[in-house]
Amino acid sequence: NFILTKMSDEGLDYDEVLKEAQELGYAEADPAADVEGLDTMRKLRILSSLALGSSITEDDIVYSGIDKITAFDIELLAKKNRRVKLIGEAIKSEDSYTAVVWPKAVSESSPLKNVDGAFNSVLIEGDLSNTLNFYGPGAGMYPTANAIWTDIIDCVLENGSKLSPLKNNKLQKDEHNFSKFYLRVSDYKIHDVVDFIDIIDEILEDNQDLAIITKKLTLDIIVEKLAELSDDRYTLIAYED
């Protein structure tokens, strides 16, 4: 979140901000877990297991990170009044559940839009409670030390979790929820436009790179569309209406 905030507010490039985050202790010397979505995925796994009363595995969660996002992407989405955040979501879909971690361009009305810097937020939507928002520092040595000591105390005191009525439900790996996506294809050719023509809702840029907002799609459909492209040629960000 620190990296995305600095890129958004100061127009800085990813590599420059990553270096600063490492110097401040917000990102590890090997930043893969932080920037490729692994750390968020593992946190989502813990929260989902507690919320659903079921053991969620890493294979249940589809994830991607922020390492391919550029200042150009941030700028284009800012013109659409969107702010990019790395978000982990566990979503109820009929009688099953899906879990996904992805960068998401959130709208002006999102309670996550102004969660900036080294702060994190957890949103819980209940049938009767509506949306509950838990907000606080999520990076740095003191928040990390506090979390570790809290876990140690819980283990010593043998604090257990409450049983959940959703205990027998399993998260499904397939993402059934529909979303629009921001997609940028670098060094694009005319056949790239042809390949994506049926999913384009809006074209934001068609100079050296092709940047589009897609129609509402399921994750498996957009992944299938991108199968022919190498990973270094595209950036994909979920787009909130």
Comma-separated ranges of CATH 3.30.360.10 domains in the chain:
2-172
Average pLDDT over residues 8-18: 94
pLDDT at 175 exceeding the cut of 90: no
pLDDT at 14 exceeding the cut of 60: yes
Instruction: Give the CA count within 13 Å in the CB-facing half-sphere of 225.
Output: 25
Residue 140: which pLDDT band, with cuts at 50, 70 and 90?
confident
Average pLDDT over residues 126-148: 84
pLDDT at 51 exceeding the cut of 90: no
Instruction: Give, in words, the CATH class of 2-172.
Output: alpha beta
Average pLDDT over residues 121-139: 85
- Alpha carbons 35 and 103: distance in angstroms, whole number: 10
178-241: CATH topology is Alpha-Beta Plaits (3.30.70)
Q: Say what the pTM is.
A: 0.84
Average pLDDT over residues 212-235: 89
Active site residues: 43
Q: Contact, 226 vs 236, CB < 8 A?
A: yes
pLDDT computed for residue 157 by the predictor: 80
Q: What are the residues facing 83 on neighbouring strands?
A: 106
pLDDT at 159 exceeding the cut of 70: no
99 backbone dihedrals φ, ψ, rounded to 5°: -135, 135
Comma-separated ranges of CATH 3.30.70 domains in the chain:
178-241
